[in-house]
Structure 1
Amino acid sequence: MDISTSFLIDEFSESSQSKTYVENILQELYTTEKNYVKDLKDIIQGYYNPLFKEIPYNDFNGIFGNIKSVHKFNRKFLKNLSQCKEDVVEVSKLFISHEEDFKVYTAYCTDYPKAQQILRDYSHYPEYNLKLLRCQQHLRHPLPLYTYLFKPVQRVLKYPLLLQNLISHHDSDAVGYDVLLAAHECMLRVAEDINEVKRNQEKVERLIEIQNCIEVRL
C-alpha cells in the first residue's frame, strides 16, 4: 500500500467516524426532546390541572409560570424535528426559524426561583404539601415537583451544547456547515437573553431591598 492510498483510507475512516458521531448526536437530540415533551405533559396533567383550584391563584401562577406555553411550543418543535431529525442542515434551519419562539423560555427561566421559593414555603404547610405529594405519587415520580419544573431551564441551556457537539464532529468544508454555526449562535443568543433578563431582574430586586431598608430606617 503506497502513502497516497493509506492517506485516502485514513481520511475516509475519519469522515465515516464523524458522520456516525453526527448521527448519534441528532438521535440524542430527538430522543431527549421527545422525553422532555412527555415530562412537560406529565407536569401539566399531573400537577397543573389538578392543582388549578386547589391552591391560591398567585401561588399557582408563581409555581407554574408559562409552562403551558412552553409545552405548546415544544410539541410543535418536536413535530417539526421528527420530520428532519436525520438531516443536520434541516435541523439547524429549524432552530434558526424558531429563534423568536424560544423566547417563551425567558419568562419561565426568570420566574423559576420564585417557584422554588413558593414550594419551599409550602413544605411547612401540611395542607398544601399533602396535595403536592398526592400528585407526585399519582405520577409515580421519584422526585418532588421542583426538580421537574427545572427541566425547561436545563433544556433550553442544553440546546447550544448539543449544537456545539454537532459542530465539533461536522466537516467544516461540508455544505451547510455555515447554517449549523448560525443555529448555534442563535441558541447562544436565546441563552444570553435569558441571562440578561435575570441580571436585570436581580438588579431591580436589589434596588427594592435597598429602598425598603431606607424606608425602615426613616
Structure 2
Amino acid sequence: MFTVAQLATIFGNIEDIYKFQRKFLKDLEKQYNKEEPHLSEIGSCFLQHQEGFAIYSEYCNNHPGACVELSNLMKQSKYRHFFEACRLLQQMIDIALDGFLLTPVQKICKYPLQLAELLKYTTQEHR
C-alpha cells in the first residue's frame, strides 16, 4: 500500500529515536533514587547521551516533508480509511497520525526547558 520512499518520508528515523529513547530511559531509571528523589543524579545521563540526541535533527528536518506526504495521501479515501481503521484497531485516541508524528519534535524541544527547571531547584552543592 505504501512505497519504501513514502514510508521513509513519513516516518524518517523514528525507529532509531525509539531505540535511543529506550536506552536513555533505562539509564535515567538507574540514576533515579526512588526513596530520595532529590538525591538523584540524572545530569550525567544527559551528558553521556548528548551525542545521541543528534538523531532528532534528522527527524525534525524531515518533519515538514512528512506532513506534506501524509497530507497528500489523506486526500485519497483508501488511505484515510486505512489510517482510521488502524487507529480503531489499536484503540487509540482520536488524534491524526500527523499529531503523533509531531511528538518527537515536541519532546526534543522540552528537554532544555525541563533541565532548566530542574537546575533551578537543585542546590549548588548537588553533584
TM-score (norm 2): 0.89
Regions of 4+ moved over 6 Å:
none
Secondary structure of 1:175's aligned partner: coil
1:166 aligns with 2:115: no
Between Structure 1 and Structure 2, whose CA radius of gyration is higher? 1
| Residue of 46, 49, 53 corresponding to 1:95 | 46
Secondary structure of 1:136's aligned partner: helix
Q: How does 1:13-24 map to 2 (within 5 A)?
A: none
Deviations 1:39-66 (A, max 9, x none): xxxxxxxxxxxxxxx2122111110000
What's the Cα RMSD here?
Answer: 1.5
> Greater CA deviation, 163-172 or 95-104?
163-172
Q: How does 1:65-144 map to 2 (within 5 A)?
A: 65-86=12-33, 90-141=41-92, 142-144=94-96
Question: What letter is aligned with 1:67?
Answer: I
What does residue 147 of structure 1 align with?
A: 99
Q: CA deviation at 1:130?
A: 1.6
Q: How does 1:181-196 map to 2 (within 5 A)?
A: none
The answer as to whether partners of 2:9 and 2:65 remain within 8 angstroms in 1 is yes
Cα distance in structure 2, aligned partners of 1:62 and 1:100: 24
The answer as to whether partners of 1:55 and 1:128 remain within 8 angstroms in 2 is no
Q: CA deviation at 1:152?
A: 0.6
What does residue 60 of structure 1 align with?
A: 7
The answer as to whether partners of 2:9 and 2:69 remain within 8 angstroms in 1 is yes
Secondary structure of 2:31's aligned partner: coil
Cα distance in structure 2, aligned partners of 1:149 and 1:107: 13
Q: What is the number of residues matched between the two proteins? A: 122
Cα distance in structure 2, aligned partners of 1:162 and 1:56: 38
The answer as to whether partners of 1:63 and 1:114 remain within 8 angstroms in 2 is yes
Secondary structure of 1:83's aligned partner: helix
TM-score (norm 1): 0.53
Percent identity between matched residues is: 30
The answer for unaligned runs of 5 or more in structure 2 is none
